[in-house]
Amino acid sequence: MGEALRVENLHVRFGTAAGQVKALNGVSFVQEEGEIYCLVGESGAGKSTLALAIMGLLPISASVPAGSIMFDGVDLLRANPEYLRSLRGNDISMVFQDAQAALNPVQLVGSQLEEVILTHTDLTPRVANRMAQEMLWEMGLPDPRRIMGQYPFSLSGGMCQRVMLAIALVLRPRLLIADEPTSGLDVTLQAQILERLKVLCREQHSSILLITHDMGIVANMAHKVGVIYAGTVVESADVIPLFKEPQHPYTWSLLKTLPRLDEPDKRLESLRGNPPDMMNLPEECPFLPRCSKALSRCRLHQRPPLDEIGPSHQVACYNPVLVEI
């Protein structure tokens, strides 16, 4: 099993009237083929910025001073626009967080789905129409022909999310980026959509980069997990070791906020403090003001590197947690 995606030392900056926002600050991770890699962290940690950088969809105010994104031996940050257009929707697809906002409100659902097929294949419009209907049916939408003739605003949030999934998956991409794909949906729809992503990974051998802040989704979906804080990956591990023996204090704090079936009466602990100001990041570890395990070394040294501490387990911390959850 080879690499599907390799991100190395990725930095992204956004220019604003108030100053420069340091959205990503040296993100590095490797995703294997056929793997579900979950990126988890608080809002504002840089997860969605990373997804847009991979897709080549960063806004004009963004700059990338350093880093690389390797896919099929090509650095996507330095690839020409025509190559990126050929990849998007074909080899790499993305499901956006707000499906109703991502769909074109003045274009029929069927037209948007058929456009992806006709752009990247030599199929006839009739075959593309049939293929689009089959994909909507596969996403669990009844009466696909009727839905093809509707506008996004006439559909519910859950239906729009399934349409977005159909658009992203219709050409069986090798890499799917799913940015909070179940955000705002009820638990039944969440379970159905997540199950369909699992089936895609298992049957089509697609790789999925799943972005979320929900540790329950991570436990259910992930093969491997990257914990992101202040625009950098602070811990990366297979899902079971990460939940059983988290090494970074931030990961440990996230898991302590979750209810447990084996300890129903346990008082949940909140994560104290606030996320850092992304315009004025310190030179030392950004989690330092919120950390209960900080040492003098943490205050005197620059940000800790992401080091290997075990098989497929990396952590960026000078004083990792050494107890089981």
The answer on 184 and 66 residing in a single domain is: yes
Whether 53 is covered by a domain: the verdict is yes
The answer on 120 and 53 residing in a single domain is: no
Q: Please tell me the predicted confidence (pLDDT) of residue 126.
A: 94
**Of 161, 144, 138, 149, nearest to 109 (Cα)?**
149
H helix intervals, the chain: 47-55, 81-87, 99-102, 109-120, 125-138, 144-148, 157-169, 187-204, 215-221, 239-244, 249-256, 296-300
Whether 111 is covered by a domain: the verdict is yes
The answer on 256 and 243 residing in a single domain is: yes
Residue that has been written with the tokens 């752009």 in this structure: 119
Whether 97 is covered by a domain: the verdict is no
Whether 96 is covered by a domain: the verdict is no
- CA dist 212 and 197 (Å) reads 14
Q: Are strands 74-75 and 62-71 parallel, antiparallel or unpaired?
A: antiparallel
The answer on 200 and 69 residing in a single domain is: yes
The answer on 230 and 130 residing in a single domain is: no
Whether 307 is covered by a domain: the verdict is yes
Domain end position, chosen among 149, 172, 195: 172
Domain end position, chosen among 119, 151, 172: 172
What's the average model confidence in pLDDT over 116-143? 92
The answer on 264 and 229 residing in a single domain is: yes
The answer on 307 and 198 residing in a single domain is: yes
Whether 322 is covered by a domain: the verdict is no
Q: Please tell me the predicted confidence (pLDDT) of residue 323.
A: 63
Q: Amino acid identity, residue 175?
A: L
Q: Residue 270 is part of a domain; what is its CATH number?
A: 3.40.50.300
What's the average model confidence in pLDDT over 27-56? 93
Contact at 8 Å (CB) between 206 and 175? yes
Residue that has been written with the tokens 């387990």 in this structure: 313
- CA dist 84 and 89 (Å) reads 10
Q: Please tell me the predicted confidence (pLDDT) of residue 242.
A: 94
Lowest mean pLDDT among 59-68, 196-205, 302-311: 196-205
Contact at 8 Å (CB) between 233 and 251? no
What's the average model confidence in pLDDT over 139-154? 91
What's the average model confidence in pLDDT over 76-82? 92
The answer on 122 and 48 residing in a single domain is: no
Whether 260 is covered by a domain: the verdict is yes
The answer on 181 and 164 residing in a single domain is: no
* Domain that includes residue 178, residue range: 3-91+173-315
The answer on 121 and 261 residing in a single domain is: no
| Tens digits of residue pLDDT in 153-186 | 999 888 898 899 899 989 989 999 999 888 767 7
Whether 325 is covered by a domain: the verdict is no
The answer on 210 and 291 residing in a single domain is: yes
Cα torsion 117, 123, 124, 125 to 10°: value is: -10
Domain end position, chosen among 172, 191, 218: 172
The answer on 75 and 27 residing in a single domain is: yes
In the chain, how many domains are there? 2
Contact at 8 Å (CB) between 175 and 91? yes
Q: Which residues of 250-286 are buried (b: 16+ CB within 10 A; e: fewer)?
A: bbbbbbeeeeeeeeeeeeeeeeeeebbebeebeebbb
| Tens digits of residue pLDDT in 245-299 | 999 999 998 888 777 777 777 777 778 888 889 999 888 899 999 998 888 888 8
- CA dist 38 and 61 (Å) reads 27
